[in-house]
Chains A and B, each alone.
Chain A
Amino acid sequence: MKNRYIILLAFKNLISHKMRTILTAGGVAISVGFVVFLVTLGLGLQRISTNQIANLDALRNLTVTSGKSKIVSINDETLGKFSTLSNVVDVQSSFSNPASISYNGSNIDSVVYGKSAEYIKLEAPKFEVNGKYTSNNADEVILSSELLNQLGVKSANSLIGKQVDLVTTIKRADLGANSESKKLSYQLKVVGVIDDKNAPYAYMPANLLTRDGLKNYSGALVRVNDKSDVDKVKTEVENLGFKTASVKETVDQINQFFSVFQIILLSFGAISIIVACLGVFNTLTISLLEKTREVGFMKAMGATKPDIYKLFISESLIIGVLGSGAGLIFGFTVGNVLNLSISGLAKATGNVAVELFYAPIYLAAIIVAIALLISLLTGLYPSFRAAKINPLDALRYE
């Protein structure tokens, strides 16, 4: 028989049992839809998390510290070494130290960071009141909103342009050889407020501290050309004896967590697909029992085993195609409707709109391929049995 005729025959067989076909394909559709729902939810959550942690630009940054090592330290010389590594486009130092900050009679113990304007730009913190130093040598400071809170300042804007007093004592080790620890006092003008309600801290130009004797920094930010270079540069820096951390590592860990999460979701989906397969298997087996005489007579009239085999496989595949097609449409539609309503709700309540379900095109292709493969496998056994039917079973019946 011609393949085209076999497919036509398979369609006619399925149409002549409309209800059964719809129910079986419906089972496949529900399970495929469920899988689409779970997978797009997993991918969506993963994307939201990684987006929250880092915009794509931060993935190019590598944070370097000397760790607990007493041999290596981060100073202008080592910064120079970092900047000569291939694929490194920028190196900025950072220094952190306990500090006491006073304003308007209140006094808070916090942390001061010596960071250049370039460092802050690379770090790209979220500002409550956007601001930057007028120069890297200016007597200026940027505060965190928690620090303002502890200082008792209600409005961030009201503090801009005001002077705060900052006192910090720099340890001997950070001042280079043969120096005693040094207490430094500054009067700094507030130029910006970082939106961070977790910790009180202040950023001031690192140059002010180096001018007053600071030699060894507590860390450096190494920026590479492309995020794919991070791992290579990281190894090179670690070979020099330093410890490193990167946002990319964190993102990798989150991705790892989500791949486990996806596998858990997928195993739920797999269960539903197995149930749907049993449905397809059941339908084909019943159809086989009903058609014993019919198939027998087809063979008596001259149909060959491959003809019968192809006919049953076609029926199985048609159910698979219809079911997984409907399931995809169903799953993607539900995801999109939920996305729209969640985003709408978020906007209405003044939050940032998010896409909870993320469905890349390749996903549809993978799921359809899997569904087809499974319906093919499910169809193998009933088709094999159908092909083996003895024509005499059809004719002997009296």
Chain B
Amino acid sequence: MKKHPIISVNNLHKTFHVGKTDIEVLKNIDLDIYEGEFVIILGPSGCGKSTLLNTIIGLEAPTSGSVTIRKQNVFGNTTSDQRSIFRRKNIGMVYQQSNWMQSLNVFENVEFPLRMTKLRNASIKKRAHNILDLMGMSEYEKYKPTELSGGQQQRVSMARALVTNPLIIVADEPTGNLDTITAADVMSIFKYINDESHRTVIMVTHNLDYEKYANKVVYMRDGAIEKIKDTRKAVQSGAEGKKDLLEMALEM
């Protein structure tokens, strides 16, 4: 049985106008991503991988082509506010810079995405606490995020991305500011939420070492996809019905 892709990118083009010159950043991108995949987009700086990621999540409007997430056309007749609300419900984000809300502490930053939902105060607090606990950061709840180390901040970032229980996690160079040991630690968390929690992960990086975490690697060069390597083994089905730690943490 052919599964329907969770994300489908079709014939995507993006051209930036800088002064009088046009720069074609994305050229004819076609990409299908299936539920539960760990996709790594690899490529040198300036190859358009971040632009591709931002287009997939509805931040950067394409010049032509379409992006479909869960059968919904992301740029089909939608306002930026509607795309914001769509991201809020479906996508968790982890970036190289954590973009903390400076006036809030770790706990408040993590609960922020839930403050945009209709959840009740008690549920919000319970969820935020549980997810921080899962990331091993509950003792730092009252700290300001900037008081933490880079690795700790990225763990809190993961907590913030996961707290809304999204199906898709996107990450743009999440280990860019970290030393290799801390980076491996962060990568293992991504691996866990993909392996055990079956979340779809899309990660942009230029670090070739991370190929081993992925089951689909997209190689990009000069705005085009060079090749796609699918290392995915048989679809795991044994996990059905079994609750993992993430689901338990986010349970109401």
Q: Is B one of A's binding partners?
A: yes
Question: Interface on A for B, CB 8 Å cutoff?
Answer: 1-2, 5, 9, 12-13, 15-16, 291, 293-294, 296-307, 391-392, 394-398
Q: Given the known A-B contacts A301-B116, A302-B85, A304-B84, are A397 and B97 also in contact in the complex, defined by CB atoms under 8 Å?
A: yes
Question: Interface on B for A, CB 8 Å cutoff?
Answer: 50, 54, 57, 59-60, 80-81, 84-85, 87-89, 93, 95-97, 99-104, 108, 112-113, 115-116, 160, 172
- Residues from chain A with Cβ under 8 Å of B104 in the complex: 9, 12
**From B93, B96, B172, contact of A301 by CB (8 A):** B93
- Find out whether the CB atom of A394 lies under 8 angstroms from the CB atom of B84: no
A391 CA to B172 CA, complexed, in Å = 14
A294 CA to B97 CA, complexed, in Å = 11
- Find out whether the CB atom of A394 lies under 8 angstroms from the CB atom of B113: no
**From B54, B87, B89, B108, contact of A395 by CB (8 A):** B54
- Find out whether the CB atom of A293 lies under 8 angstroms from the CB atom of B59: no
- Residues from chain B with Cβ under 8 Å of A394 in the complex: 99
- Residues from chain B with Cβ under 8 Å of A397 in the complex: 97
- Find out whether the CB atom of B116 lies under 8 angstroms from the CB atom of A392: no
- Residues from chain A with Cβ under 8 Å of B160 in the complex: 301
- Residues from chain A with Cβ under 8 Å of B89 in the complex: 302
- Residues from chain B with Cβ under 8 Å of A5 in the complex: 115
Q: Given the known A-B contacts A300-B59, A302-B113, are A16 and B103 also in contact in the complex, defined by CB atoms under 8 Å?
A: yes
- Residues from chain B with Cβ under 8 Å of A298 in the complex: 101, 112
Distance (Å) between the CB of B141 and the closest chain A CB? 15
- Find out whether the CB atom of A301 lies under 8 angstroms from the CB atom of B103: no
Distance (Å) between the CB of A27 and the closest chain B CB? 22
A302 CA to B81 CA, complexed, in Å = 8
**From A15, A16, A303, contact of B84 by CB (8 A):** A303
Distance (Å) between the CB of A197 and the closest chain B CB? 70
A395 CA to B51 CA, complexed, in Å = 10
**From B93, B102, B115, contact of A300 by CB (8 A):** B93
Q: How would you classify the secondary structure of chain A's contact residues: helix, strand, loop or mixed?
A: helix
- Find out whether the CB atom of B87 lies under 8 angstroms from the CB atom of A302: yes
Q: Given the known A-B contacts A304-B85, A392-B59, are A2 and B93 also in contact in the complex, defined by CB atoms under 8 Å?
A: no
- Residues from chain A with Cβ under 8 Å of B101 in the complex: 294, 298
- Find out whether the CB atom of B103 lies under 8 angstroms from the CB atom of A297: no
- Residues from chain A with Cβ under 8 Å of B97 in the complex: 293, 397
- Find out whether the CB atom of B95 lies under 8 angstroms from the CB atom of A301: no
Q: Given the known A-B contacts A294-B102, A296-B99, are A304 and B81 also in contact in the complex, defined by CB atoms under 8 Å?
A: yes
**From B60, B88, B99, contact of A297 by CB (8 A):** B99
Given A291-B102, A302-B87, A304-B81, 11 new contacts (CB under 8 A): A1-B115, A5-B115, A9-B103, A9-B104, A12-B103, A12-B108, A16-B103, A294-B100, A302-B84, A395-B50, A395-B59
A184 CA to B97 CA, complexed, in Å = 109
- Residues from chain A with Cβ under 8 Å of B87 in the complex: 300-302
- Residues from chain A with Cβ under 8 Å of B112 in the complex: 298, 301
- Residues from chain B with Cβ under 8 Å of A297 in the complex: 95, 99
A294 CA to B146 CA, complexed, in Å = 13
Q: Given the known A-B contacts A392-B60, A395-B59, are A301 and B88 also in contact in the complex, defined by CB atoms under 8 Å?
A: yes
Q: Given the known A-B contacts A298-B101, A392-B59, are A398 and B115 also in contact in the complex, defined by CB atoms under 8 Å?
A: no
- Residues from chain A with Cβ under 8 Å of B96 in the complex: 398
- Residues from chain A with Cβ under 8 Å of B100 in the complex: 294
